[in-house]
Amino acid sequence: MKKHVDFLVIGTGIAGLSFALKVAAKGRVCILSKASADEGSTLYAQGGIAAVMNALDTYDKHIQDTLVAGDGLCDEEVVRFTIEESTRRIEELIGWGAQFDRKTTGEFDLAREGGHSEYRVLHHKDQTGAEIERILLKEVKNHPNIELLEHHFALDLITQHHLGAEVNRRTPDIACFGAYVLDEKANRIDTYLAKLTMLATGGNGNVYATTTNPVVATGDGVAMVYRAKGKVANMEFIQFHPTSLYNPMEKPSFLISEAVRGAGGRLCTLKGDYFMSRYDRRLELAPRDVVARAIDSEMKLTGDDHVYLDCSGISKTEILGHFPTIYAKCLSIGIDITKELLPVVPAAHYSCGGIVVDEHARTSIRHLYASGECSCTGLHGANRLASNSLLEALVFSHRAAEDAKTQVDALSYCNDIPEWNDEGMVLNEEMILITQSLREVQSIMSSYVGIVRSNLRLQRALDRLAIIYRETEELYNRSVHSLKLAELRNLIKVGYLIIKMAMARKENRGLHYNIDNIVNK
C-alpha cells in the first residue's frame, strides 16, 4: 500500500509532536509511533527544562554554563540562539497548557541542577516530561490535519537508492522521499511517500545493558540515516546519568533526577564516605560526566556494585512536594528515602551525538529533518548540560517547522518508488537468536565501551560486534521483517558507530574517557 502525506513525522516525543503542530496548517501530517504514542524518552524526563525565566539569570550565564559543560566542542552560535530562544519556546508550551510548578507568589519554582550557575530549571514536580507529553498529545489528537498512527515502525528511509538508474541520474545528491513502514497490527510493510520527513526517533540507550531509556530507544533514526549515507557525528559522547536506582532486575533503570542532588542529596560509599570533594569543587553539582566517573572510580576502588545517595539534607516536605514519584517508587521496593540511604548506579542516559543537522534541523539528506536526541546540533558538544535536551528539541523543531513551511508548496511526490519487496523471505522462527544477540550486544557495549574506555577494550568490542553483525544481516536478509529483528540491526549499527568514533578520538573530552589517551599525552 502507498500513502501520500505532506509531512511524515517519525516519533512522538517533544520533538516530533511540536514540529507536527507547527506545520499542520500547511498540509497533511502523519505521525508514526513504533509503540503507544506516549512511550518515549519525553515521558520519562523527570528533572525539567532549562530556560532563562529568572530576573537574576541571564542568557549569557546559561550560554556560558552550556559551553563549559560541552568541554570546548559546542557550536557557540547554536548555543547562543538556542538559549536566547528559550523564553519564547517556554511561553509557547505554557500557551498549549503545560503546567510548571510555581511558588505561592506565583513565580516559577525553579530548580538548579549540575553545571548550572543559577536556578533556571522549570519542572512539574518530578514528572516534567509526562506533563509536556500530555499537553502535546492532547493538541495533536484534536488537530484535524494530523493523523497519529501507533505501532507503526519505520524500517528504512526511502531515498534514490531505491529508485531506478534513470531517476538516480536525475537526483545526484541524496534525497528522502518518505519511509518504508511496518504496520505491526496488519503485519505488512507499507510505502509512505512524503514531501518532507522529520526524524524524531529519540536515543539509543538500549545498546547498553543498564539504561534509563525506555525499551523503544534503539537508535532507529541514526541507523536509518547512516544506511542512507547521511552524516552522523559525535556518537562517542554517551552521557551516563550518575544516579539511577540500583534495582538490578528492573528495565529500564528508574532515574533519580539530578534535581535531588540540586536539592541537597549527597553521594557516599557503602561505608558512608562522602567522596565528591576528592573529584570536583562543585561536589554533587559538577557536570554529569564528572559525577559519573567519580562514582565509577569509587565502585572500582571498593568493589561495590553501587553507591548511596543520602537525602537526609532534604526536608520530608520538599521530598513529598518535589519528588513524589521518586519517593513512591523507592517506597515500593522498601526504601524510605526520608529515613534511609538510596542505592544508585550510573546508567546510559543520553546520546550527545547523532544525525548532523544545520541551524534549521536540516540533515545532509535533502527533504529530511531531524530533531531531539537523534540529532547532533552542536548544542551539547562533548557533554550535555542537564535539562538542555527538552529545550533543544523545542527550538530545533520550531526552526525546522519554519523552514519546512517555506519549502513544502514547491515540492511534489516521487511516484517512481517501488513497493517493499519481500519475495522469497521466510517467517523467522529464531526469536531466541534475536534475544540472545541483543543481550550480547548490550554486554559488549557495557563491558568495553562504558564510562571509562581503553584501546584494547574498544578493539575487543569491535571484533565481537562484527560477528554479531554478520549473523544478524544474514538473518535479516532471509526473514520476513519483524520489529525486534529490525531494532537489533539498528542497535548493532549504533554500537559500531559509537566504537569507531571512540577509537578515532585521541583525546579525553567530556563524556569520552580513554585511559590510553592519558598515557599518550
Domain extents in the chain: 244-346, 431-519
Contact 337, 181 (CB under 8 A): no
Residue 345 has pLDDT above 90, yes or no: yes
Q: What integer pLDDT is reported at residue 477 of this predicted model?
A: 85
Mean pLDDT across 211-226: 95
SS3 (DSSP) at 309: strand
Lowest-confidence region among 94-103, 257-266, 298-307, 423-432: 423-432
CATH of domain 244-346: 3.90.700.10
* Catalytic site residue from 120, 288, 399, 489: 288
Residue 170 has pLDDT above 60, yes or no: no
Q: How far apart are CA 397 and CA 82, in angstroms?
A: 11
Band of pLDDT at residue 458, cut at 50, 70 and 90: very high
At 385-404, the pLDDT tens digits run 989 999 999 999 999 999 99
End-to-end alpha carbon distance in the chain:
58
Q: What integer pLDDT is reported at residue 101 of this predicted model?
A: 93
> How much is the mean pLDDT over the chain?
92
Q: How far apart are CA 34 and CA 289, in angstroms?
A: 31
Determine the Cα angle at 62 with ends 61 and 64, to 5°.
65
DSSP state, 360? T
102 is known as an active-site residue = no
Q: How far is CA 10 from CA 15, 88, 150, 274, 375, in A?
A: 10, 25, 11, 45, 13
Residue 34 has pLDDT above 50, yes or no: yes
Q: What integer pLDDT is reported at residue 319 of this predicted model?
A: 94
Contact 207, 223 (CB under 8 A): no
Contacts 24+ apart (CB under 8 A), 277-285: 282/114, 284/114, 285/112, 285/113, 285/114, 285/115, 285/116, 285/261
Q: How far apart are CA 319 and CA 298, in angstroms?
A: 27
State which fold the 431-519 domain adopts: Methane Monooxygenase Hydroxylase; Chain G, domain 1 (1.20.58)
Q: What integer pLDDT is reported at residue 111 of this predicted model?
A: 87
Residue 521 has pLDDT above 50, yes or no: no
Mean pLDDT across 96-100: 94
Mean pLDDT across 85-105: 94
SS (HEC) of 177-225: EEEEEEECCCCEEEEEEEEEEEECCCCCHHHCCCECCCCCCCCHHHHHH
Q: How far apart are CA 485 and CA 475, in angstroms?
A: 9
At 116-130, the pLDDT tens digits run 999 999 999 878 999
